[in-house]
Structure 1
Amino acid sequence: MVSKVAVVTGSNKGIGFAIVRGLCKRYDGIVYLTSRDVERGKKAVADLEKEGLNPKYHQLDITNKQSLEVFRDYIKNTYGGIDILVNNAAIAFKHDATEPASVQAKETLFVNYFSLVSTCETLFPVLNNGARVINLSSSCGQLGLIPSQSLRDQLKDEKLTVPELSKLMQQYVEAAKQGTHEPEWGNSSYVVSKVAVSALSVIQQRELNDRDIKVNAVHPGYVDTDMTSHKGPLTIDQGASAPLYLALDAPDTIKGKFVWHNSKLVDWDAEKPLSVI
């Protein structure tokens, strides 16, 4: 009997690590912890093994096309496909970062959006029918945080395609390079990247409906991690709660949605964003 497979990107620490822990405890299948750095990944696996859990490990750098293809081929040849894909890997500049907006925009969008698109383009062909995809967004991924009405209308357009969304994100990177981004896009590259993740999830669901694949975006909450400089009030296991709900417990009718950290559905494209927490 072919084993079911769950994959979590960027999961050697933080929320990703906690998602792997939760899957290992409850998922009736094989769970892959992946990381860019092999040593950190193997240490994370060893830490979970000390808890009596048994994740498998594979190197995966979502910013590297070859790494993605090697991983895809390994999964395809070993198991046939993926049943749960949690796209967790992301970066964020600190509030006091000294890098100029042009650098922050380019690097943040490269990892959080363009590399996510590349990951999905590479791995979606090996998703099994009935698979679940969970894209880690954020409270920052709410459309109402984008100042421009015109941009908001484009980003929530029901006919928006991935190439068109990518073109909009490239326009943002260019605007940041020119220093003209704030009036329309705001002053946070992280917000723009996570709004893009939320919009992408809606498009992906539309494109995958005929394969019975469920794609959702999730705000895991303000969690105590390196990314938040350990300012978040939630533990990593609390942050893993809503992603795990989508992976294991949500009814099949929940697809193309934006899920809050308490596992409730909210409108990602509401004009008035919900509180960050």
Structure 2
Amino acid sequence: MVLTVRDQTRGRGRAARQHLKAEGLSLHFHLLAIDNLQSIRTLRDFLWEEFGGLDVLVNNAGITFKSDDPTPLHIQAEVTLKTNFFGTRDICTELLPLVKPQGRVVNVSSVMGFVTLKQCSPELQQKFTSEAITEEELGMLMDKFVEDVKNGVHKKEGWPDMKLVTYGISKMGITILSRIHARKLSEQRRDDKILLNACCPGWVRTDMGGADAIKAQKMEQRRLSA
């Protein structure tokens, strides 16, 4: 097992290692900054040289801003999507070719992705739910969201007006990206029988997703059912 961390000196990584070792698991640490392509490629080379590929890949890295964070929304959009969506996309680009036959890939998304999709305009929903949408088209839509937020026109362009919108858009993107990659694997590596899924949990008690997150999620769900 390889656990990636942004900083090997921080206590959380060491605590996770001790916990997993106590369960009898052999664990390797490797540095990874998901928003840095060179860092991703360094990990890719390590995995190939040490293990000859991957049996299981779990993409769990993600960030969010609190709903009352004073950071301007366009900065939140840029930072959140750079990590959550584009970082995950780059990881998949570099590491999916290393996944061995019968391998498993899990992209950790969120139920907020579904909530956010339903808040998009019908035109955007049609684009996002198209069976023919490509990875390039999805990336362009994610870029458009960031630019629309920067230009102050995201509501006019059909993007949601909701709390945690940048997080929701990023997770919506991951879910759709997972569908695209699953389709590609089925077409290009059918005989390898690799299974790729997006996991879309609700609120989970973590340092990042506290009471603020569950409150915002419940508010949006009530809006949908009203």
The TM-score, its normalising length taken from structure 2, stands at 0.84
Task: Decide whether the 8 Å contact of 1:145 with 1:191 is kept in 2.
Answer: no
1:32 aligns with 2:32: no
Report what 2:74 is aligned to.
102
- Partner Cα distance (2:3, 2:211) in 1: 22
Deviation for aligned residue 1:32: 1.5
1:154 aligned residue: 127
Aligned residue among 203, 210, 218 for 1:229: 210
Post-superposition, which runs of at least 4 consecutive aligned residues in structure 1 deviate over 6 A? none
Task: Tell me the secondary structure at the aligned position of residue 215 of structure 1.
Answer: strand
For 2:144, the equivalent position in structure 1 comes to: 171
Displacement after TM superposition at 1:149 (Å): 0.5
Which of 154, 160, 185 is residue 186 of structure 1 equivalent to?
Answer: 160
Q: Secondary structure at the match of 1:110?
A: helix
In the alignment, structure 2 segments of 5+ residues that lack a partner are 215-222
Tell me the alpha carbon deviations over residues 13-46 of structure 1, each in whole angstroms, 9 at most, x when there is no partner: xxxxxxxxxxxxxxxxxx2211111123234213
By relative contact order (CA 8 Å, sep 6+), the higher-ranking structure is: 2
The question of whether the paired residues in 1 share the 8 Å contact of 2:110 and 2:201 is answered with yes
Distance in 2 between the 1:49 and 1:132 partners?
A: 22
Task: Give the aligned partner of residue 199 of structure 1.
Answer: 176
Residues 129 and 90 of structure 1: CA distance in aligned 2, closer, same or farther (over 3 Å):
same
Aligned counterpart, 1:112: 84
SS in 1 for 2:136: helix
AA matched with 1:186: P
Query: Matched residues in 2 for 1:144 and 1:231: separation?
Result: 21
| RMSD after superposition | 2.1
Q: Is the 8 A contact 1:60 1:68 kept in 2?
A: yes
* Aligned twin of 2:185: 208
- Contact in 2 for aligned 1:165/1:200 (Cα 8 Å): yes
Looking at structure 1, the residues matched to 212 and 160 of structure 2 have their Cα atoms a distance apart, in angstroms, of 23
Secondary structure of 2:9 counterpart: helix
CA contact (8 A) 2:104 2:195 kept: yes
How far does residue 147 in structure 1 lie from its aligned partner after superposition? 2.3
Shifted more, 82-91 versus 54-63: the winner is 54-63
Mapped partners of 2:117, 2:213: distance in 1 = 22
State the Cα deviation string for residues 46-80 of structure 1 (Å, max 9, x = none).
34334554322211221111111111111111111
Equivalent pairs, count: 206
Map 1:1-277 to 2 at 5 A.
Answer: 31-40=1-10, 41-50=13-22, 52-142=24-114, 144-183=117-156, 184-187=158-161, 188-209=165-186, 210-211=188-189, 212-229=193-210
Residues 273 and 128 (structure 1), Cα distance of their counterparts in 2 relative to 1, 3 Å cut: farther
The whole-number CA distance in structure 2 between the counterparts of 1:76 and 1:206 is: 24
**Alignment-mate amino acid for residue 173 of structure 2:** A
Shift of 1:219: 1.6
Q: Which stretch of structure 1 is more off in the superposition, 98-107 or 216-225? A: 216-225
TM-score by length of structure 1 reads 0.69
**5+ residue gaps, structure 1:** 1-30, 234-271
Displacement after TM superposition at 1:97 (Å)? 0.7
The DSSP-based 3-state class of the residue aligned with 1:57 is strand
Paired-residue identity, %: 38
Kept in 1, the 8 Å contact 2:66–2:212? The answer is no
